[in-house]
Amino acid sequence: MKILVCITHVPDTTSKISFKDNNTQFDTSGVQFIIGPYDDYALARAVELKDATGGSVTVLNVGEATTEPTIRKALAIGADDAIRVNAEPTDAFFVAQQIAHYAKEGAYDLILMGRESIDYNGGAVHGMVGELLGMPSVSPVMKLEFDGNNAKMDREIEGGKETLELSLPFVAGCQEPIAEWKIPNMRGIMSARTKPLNVVEAVDSNGKTKVNGYEMPPAKGEVKMIDADNVEELVKLLKNEAKVL
């Protein structure tokens, strides 16, 4: 199976988010970047599938040169090679067109992504790529098993899950517990240095959205502490002050 895994390069989940230049630019100072946690699940499952049935895993990122350490980490985790589409990922449709173009060129059997990026939170790129390539797309997938070319998967729905059957090729947006995150070992890290990371140019495309500026949520007020022996007070406050009961 030839697998393509699309990864994002996003701030660590513990990062403090802030903006600069009059709230028009994300402030990267002091921010650690990681593989998107959902993409990391997709990658872990891809490596497991390769280990079980053979084939290859290619990772793809649409991003500028600063994303390369993140891509190398994916190679250390077990991907065989990587593609970086050299462009700033400004819009979901723009990103989807890049992925669709290079996915078609590589004729992959299976395209795995995360259910959503944790910076943009669009939950859209996998569906767009599926439509662009004329392939089914399923998300969020929490279990993915194969019997030859036929997949059996669980998709999470509100309050439960549904089981689907589908044959290759298709696109899936992944989430836990599809696999456990993999931590690169020393051998992986060494070999990642020499694995191919091909930088390719972006294909012509127009984005359909544009960000005009950022805002922060209003600061939270002080917490009001209530004595553990006086919980009636809590219920009163919730009813009369917060008005949520």
Partner 1 sequence: MSILVFVESADGIIKKSSLEAVAYAAALAKVQGTEVNAVAMGAIDNEELAKVGNYGVTRALHVANEKLNKGVIQAYASVLAQVMEKEGATTLILATSSLGNPVAARLAVKIDASLATNVTDLPETSGEFTVTRSIYTGKAFAKTVMNGEKKIIAIKKNAIELSESDEQANVEAFDAQLDDADFAAKITATEKAEGDVLLPEAEIVVSGGRGMKGPENWSMLEELAKSLGAATGCSKPVSDMDWRPHHEHVGQTGVKVSPNLYIAVGISGAIQHLAGVNSSKVIVVVNKDADAPFFKAADYGIVGDAFEVVPKITEAVKALNN
Ligand X SMILES: Nc1ncnc2c1ncn2[C@@H]1O[C@H](COP(=O)(O)O)[C@@H](O)[C@H]1O
Ligand Y SMILES: Cc1cc2nc3c(=O)[nH]c(=O)nc-3n(C[C@H](O)[C@H](O)[C@H](O)COP(=O)(O)OP(=O)(O)OC[C@H]3O[C@@H](n4cnc5c(N)ncnc54)[C@H](O)[C@@H]3O)c2cc1C
Binding region for ligand Y (CB under 6 A): 13, 37
Q: Closer to ligand X at the Cβ: 106 or 123?
A: 123
Q: Closer to partner 1 at the Cβ: 47 or 133?
A: 133
Gap between the terminal Cα atoms of the chain: 54
Q: Closer to partner 1 at the Cβ: 189 or 237?
A: 237
Q: Which of 88, 131, 133 is nearest to 106 (CA)?
A: 133
From residue 203, give the alpha-carbon distance in Å to each of 62, 99, 190.
11, 10, 32
Q: Closer to ligand X at the Cβ: 11 or 123?
A: 123
Give least dist CB 211 to ligand X, A.
Answer: 13
> Contacts with ligand X in 70-89 (CB under 6 A)?
89
Q: Closer to partner 1 at the Cβ: 185 or 209?
A: 209
Give least dist CB 37 to ligand Y, A.
Answer: 4
Question: Among ligand X, ligand Y, partner 1, none, what does residue 218 contact (CB within 5–8 Å per kind)?
Answer: none
Examine residue 153 and tell whether it contacts ligand X (CB under 6 A).
no
Examine residue 114 and tell whether it contacts ligand X (CB under 6 A).
yes
Question: Among ligand X, ligand Y, partner 1, none, what does residue 155 contact (CB within 5–8 Å per kind)?
Answer: partner 1
Detail the DSSP E strand segments found in 87-149: 110-114, 137-147
Q: Rounded to an integer, what distance in angstroms lies between the CA atom of residue 99 and that of residue 110?
A: 13
Q: Rounded to an integer, what distance in angstroms lies between the CA atom of residue 13 and that of residue 17?
A: 10
Examine residue 6 and tell whether it contacts ligand X (CB under 6 A).
yes
CB 71 within 8 A of CB 198: no
Residue 99 phi, psi dihedral angles, 5° rounding: -65, -45
Which residue lies nearest ligand X, judged by its C-beta?
A: 114
Examine residue 137 and tell whether it contacts ligand X (CB under 6 A).
no
DSSP tag of 244: -
Question: Among partner 1, ligand Y, ligand X, none, what does residue 106 contact (CB within 5–8 Å per kind)?
Answer: none
Q: Rounded to an integer, what distance in angstroms lies between the CA atom of residue 126 and that of residue 92?
A: 10
Among 47, 120, 169, 179, the residue binding ligand X under the rule CB under 6 A is 120
Question: Among partner 1, ligand X, ligand Y, none, what does residue 89 contact (CB within 5–8 Å per kind)?
Answer: ligand X
Q: Rounded to an integer, what distance in angstroms lies between the CA atom of residue 38 and that of residue 240?
A: 41
Q: Is the peptide bond before 140 cis (omega within 30 degrees of 0)?
A: yes
- Sign of the Cα torsion 61, 66, 69, 72 reads positive
Residues in touch with ligand X (CB under 6 A): 6-8, 36, 38-39, 60-63, 89, 92, 95, 113-114, 116-117, 120-126
